[in-house]
Structure 1
Amino acid sequence: MTARTTPPHIDEVSKAIIELLQEDGRRSYAEIGKSVGLSEAAVRQRVQKLTESGVMQIVAVTDPLQLGFLRQAMIGITVSGDTRQVAEALAALPAVDYVVLTAGSFDILAEVVCESDDDLLALLNSEIRSIDGVRSTETFVYLKLHKQLYNWGTR
């Protein structure tokens, strides 16, 4: 998802739809319609507009460990030059699932999911550190994921 300079106006009904889908992304449009006072077709249209505009995505959230990805890490990256170009190059890497430009000690934070420590090492040395403009990296290996939620709501 990309940030918008002017967020679209989201009315209370659309916010309620979003929150219901955050609780259960498989909830039927008919069930949502009953909760928010709309027809199934009207809910379908609103969900389509919300997804097409980039306000929300409906995806299956997986547990990387259950899928055989035994190493996750956050990588702090210091850049010389245009941080946006480095961010684009990072975003194109399949192992990278999160890229954000930051202010502070690092110019970019990138979260990665790898099958092993060897894969993480190869990713760092062969791919990330070889990107033009990457000056240095610091890797924060995840020992245990304590909390990760996607239901922060709309209010």
Structure 2
Amino acid sequence: MSVEIIDQLDKGIIKLLSKDGRMSFTEIAQRLNVTEKTVRTRYNNLVENNILEVVGVVNPISLGVKVGAIIQISAIPPRMEDTIKKLQEIAGIRFITLTSGEYQLLVQANVRHYEEITEIVKSIHKIEGINKTNVILQMDIYKNSFEYI
């Protein structure tokens, strides 16, 4: 099954589970006007084809993780792979992506205290091959969605 083959029923299942990953197949079937067996079969196909992955999402605030920062990083291209590996080892960094433009990498860090952001930035600056950084503190979150359909 490829993304092009996903039909409206598959999208409906994904959308409902994106809002409530604990929703029963029975409830999904009722909402989509199909049988529970159909939902179960479609769900299994989506999982088997790596289109859908159901995981528990932790509310970071409930764990005391209240401080976030987005860090843009300008790195030397020949050292990019090594730089990424070293970034992956830093506690508190939860997201790393390659980007276009002046800063080749974007990192998101989430920690309990502002001092930990300072420590992360210091750790980043120790990585050989990093030219400069731009740290953006996240003040408040207004939307954090897992809906892609």
Q: TM-score, normalised by structure 1?
A: 0.77
Equivalent AA in structure 2 for residue 108 of structure 1: L
Inter-partner Cα distance in structure 1 for 2:73 and 2:57: 26
Inter-partner Cα distance in structure 2 for 1:108 and 1:31: 42
| Correspondent of 1:96 among 78, 84, 93 | 93
Inter-partner Cα distance in structure 2 for 1:145 and 1:61: 16
Equivalent AA in structure 1 for residue 20 of structure 2: D
Kindly indicate whether residue 5 of structure 2 is the aligned counterpart of residue 9 of structure 1.
yes
Kindly indicate whether residue 118 of structure 2 is the aligned counterpart of residue 118 of structure 1.
no
Aligned partner of residue 5 in structure 2, secondary structure: coil
Shift of 1:40: 2.8
Percent identity between the two aligned chains: 26
Kindly indicate whether residue 49 of structure 2 is the aligned counterpart of residue 49 of structure 1.
no
Equivalent AA in structure 2 for residue 104 of structure 1: G
Within 5 A, what are the aligned runs for 1:124-143? 124-126=121-123, 128-143=124-139
Equivalent AA in structure 1 for residue 68 of structure 2: Q
* RMSD across aligned positions (CA): 2.5
Kindly indicate whether residue 77 of structure 2 is the aligned counterpart of residue 81 of structure 1.
yes
Conserved? CA contact 2:98–2:104, under 8 Å: yes
| Correspondent of 1:67 among 45, 63, 66 | 63
Structure-2 change in CA distance of 1:124 and 1:25 (3 Å): same
**Which of the two has higher C-alpha Rg?**
2
Higher share in helix = 2
Inter-partner Cα distance in structure 1 for 2:50 and 2:89: 19
Q: TM-score, normalised by structure 2?
A: 0.80
34-43 or 19-28: bigger deviation: 34-43
- Give unmatched runs, 5+ long, in structure 2: none
Inter-partner Cα distance in structure 1 for 2:127 and 2:90: 11
7-16 or 103-112: bigger deviation: 7-16
Kindly indicate whether residue 149 of structure 2 is the aligned counterpart of residue 149 of structure 1.
no
1:30 aligned residue: 26
117-126 or 17-26: bigger deviation: 117-126
Structure-2 change in CA distance of 1:129 and 1:27 (3 Å): same
